[in-house]
Amino acid sequence: MNGLSAGEAAARLAADGPNLLPQPRRRSLVRRLMGELVHFFALMLWVAGGLALVAGMPQLGIAIIAVILINAVFALAQEARADRAAAKLHSMLPTRVTVRRDGRRQIVDAAEIVVDDVLLLESGDRVPADAELAVGNRLLMDTSMLTGESVASPVEDGGRLYAGTFLVEGEARAIVVATGSRTRLAEIARLTTASPKPVTPLTRGLQQVVRIIAAIALGVGVLFLAISLLVGRPVEDGFIFAIGVTVALVPEALLPTVTLSLAWGAEQMAKRQILVRNLQSVETLGSTTFICTDKTGTLTRNEMAVVQAWTPSGTMSVTGVGYEPEAQISTWPTSPDACERARDLAVAAMRCSTGYAVQTGAGWHPHGDPTEVALDVFARRLGVDTDADRRGHRAQLRFPFDPRTRRMAVVIDGTAVVKGAPDSVLPLCVAPGDDATRVAEDLSRTGLRVLAVATGTPGRRPSTLEEVERSLHLVGIVGLEDPPRADVGASLTACRKAGIKVAMVTGDHPGTASAIADAVGLRHHESPVLVGAQLPSDDGVLASTVDHDGLVVARVSPEDKLRIARALRSHGHVVAMTGDGVNDAPALHEADIGVAMGRAGTDVAREAADLVLLDDAFSSIVSGVEQGRATFVNVRRFLTYHLTDNVAELTPFVVWALSGGQFPLALGVLQILAIDLGTDTLSAVSLGAEPPAKHLLERPPVQGRLLNGTVLRRAFGVLGPLIATLMMVAFLVSLTATGWSPGEPFPSGDALRAASGAAFMTVIFGQKANAFACRSSTVWPGQLGWTTNRLLLPAGATELLFAFVVLFVPPVALVLGQASPPPAGWAVALLSAPLVLLVDWLYKRARTRRQTG
């Protein structure tokens, strides 16, 4: 098998292209920017800005357009930051690989591999392309990235090796049959883009809010155009006036407030080891009602370890963290002889293995088969210097693991060591005893992977496995597991308390999956354990089958996971799907929120996901749910705040209309713009950063629309009318202070500007108090603590400073049509803050009494 010639390889490379996975189609910077500029909310602002320019208000039009552009750039910057963080994570295909070409071994770039190349692979190598195994020597493959199976599996000659999998044991010579986009790896990756990403709950809610606001603004504008014409204004003046009213009612600051609130949530999630790749997913995670979690690495530590050891002299239990040699031996054999037997077991098991743990500057790391690494660590934890032992005791003969016999053997210093499945090793032993069989069965029932270890003394120069396995004596039995993460149980309890169903969906063996599910408390006593092949073909029946808390579905294919995500969504669930392998990517894309692993995850999985868990821990998902729920509630908070403003801003125009155009406007369009963009935005953003309430995970996800009854009642029934009334009182009191009396013609010039300044400052002070009132829809801000939102006080102070500048700097005040109020106007303005807090307290108190009564 001489392989291809250099010329043949070059020709095929030119014809088929490089052996590279198809890169995900990323939207160009221009297209991404356009997406931020033309979504529904931005379009409404574009229309408002255009109308402002048409109406002869260039300052307003330019300011609105600036808001759109700044928000778009900020959103792009946040996504680019997440992309850069994700790009730092490792790739999944090798960069160099050994092949046979021109009759000799060569090392070439993996991208240059072509069909019919002869791959020369050994333990630890990752397969660069799909290939057919020509000759294998006791080959064991880790296919977890594609199948989810946590235990390495054997491959016979003629079998298929898939790109991205790797050899944990043995050697292989294989013929490449598919490269690049034609591999199974690429086929699964393509499933990821087969359907569009679901629209997030927040997007749907904001679209509804924008439609309502746009309809109200347009309707009011048309109404005021008609009124203007009825009171005798020229058509052109009436049109411009109506445009001004319409633009004034558009909450220009709402869009950047939403974006900044999501960005703040993303920053908080980053502190909890969650990388947010899509800002909208911050809130989506909080809306989650069903979590489909993987097993290995998410519920477990993805670190095999010996936890039970038995010898005829006693039993021991071992507890350790990772691959560190330090461990806690919770149960020691009582006699010195029994302790020595335990060490003999550890040494024999380690010698009959090729995997080991290695110490680097960053700690201890595995090398080789995870089970064999665990045996090396077990010996270290019993005080054995395994590095020195390997150097001093070389194997004279080795028989690698045979999947048919399910055992392996070595001969070291004239002693044979055999390790494998108990039902394979025990029959070879001389009088192993009934206890050994019983212990092996008991450990297997608890979900542990069980290995028996035996030794013997073969003849002088054994050459066959049969000679090595004569007259063996049982040394002992070990039980291994990928231990559950310590915090998973508490996290699952928190999920159920929060009204979130959790199911395990894994490619692993059903026995292993159910054992882990039972150990961490995921599975209820009556919860079924299904296998992918058993899932109903009808999507409706599938939805009913999998919509159960505590469900375990094992041996699932990528297509199965995809169907499960779709079925749960069809049942009305907001689905979060976790995964780390390429096989998980399609389901991560299909779910409402895809959650990939940062440490063990593949690039394809991370690319398909909305969030990346940097610590791979299930508990991080629960922390993210809490932050997501807080974000949704915060959006309602600052939506209430903005809509309260709209009521106050609309009131002067309503009064003007009802008076037939005789009553002067208390606020002008530019003053309204100054309020929306200058004195409200920072407070609204601060409300978007309100810390999560303690009760958020003690009830089901917040359901319903953003504009729910509570928001509407508080904005349009209580706070908005209150501030609007105070504003008009300040305006009238200021007019009266200048000598005006009811029934007389309204003054103009300085007197009118001073009264308008009083109305302006009344709204400002009222809204500063309103910001504190909006921190909770049920609790008075004094109970929450005036400084517990550390951003709100500085935001309010900054906005007041801006208000004073536009009031007291003559050129600016003249443009806005206002001046410093008289003392009576200042009195009303200053009183507006405590009055808003008082009325808010009375409303919340009455509401609480109604609910408890």
Please identify every residue annotated as catalytic: 294
- What does residue 787 show for φ and ψ, rounded to 5 degrees? -115, 5
Q: What is the dihedral of CA 348, 349, 350, 353, to 10 degrees?
A: 120
Answer for the pair 104, 7: CB distance below 8 angstroms, yes or no: no
CA separation for the pair 764, 37 (Å, rounded) = 30
Residue 526 burial by CB count (10 A; 0-12/13-18/19+): exposed, middle or buried?
Answer: exposed
Backbone dihedral angles phi then psi of residue 661, each to the nearest 5 degrees: 85, 5
270: Cα separation from own chain's centroid: 10
Measure the CA–CA gap between 774 and 394, rounded to whole angstroms.
Answer: 73
Dihedral sign for Cα 100, 104, 107, 109, please. negative
Write down the H helix ranges in 182-295: 184-191, 201-230, 235-249, 254-271, 281-286
Q: Which residue has the tokens 């044979």?
A: 416
Whether 569 and 548 have beta carbons less than 8 Å apart is answered as: no
Question: Which residue shows structure tokens 């294919």?
Answer: 557
User: What is the token pair recorded at 752?
Assistant: 């009118």
Backbone angles phi, psi at 297, to 5 degrees: 90, -20
- Residues, the chain: 853
Contact of 802 with 813, CB cutoff 8 Å: no
Give the residue carrying structure tokens 């080795």. 398
Whole-number Cα distances in Å, 194 to 179, 247, 489: 21, 41, 36
Torsion of CA 180, 185, 187, 189, to 10 degrees: -100
Say whether 225 sits in a helix, a strand or coil: helix
CB-based contacts of 430: which residues, under 8 Å, 6+ apart? 471, 472, 473
Distances 90 to 80, 94, 600 between C-alpha atoms, Å: 18, 11, 9
Helix H segments across 250-384? Answer: 254-271, 281-286, 336-351, 370-381
The one-letter code for the residue type at 51 is: L
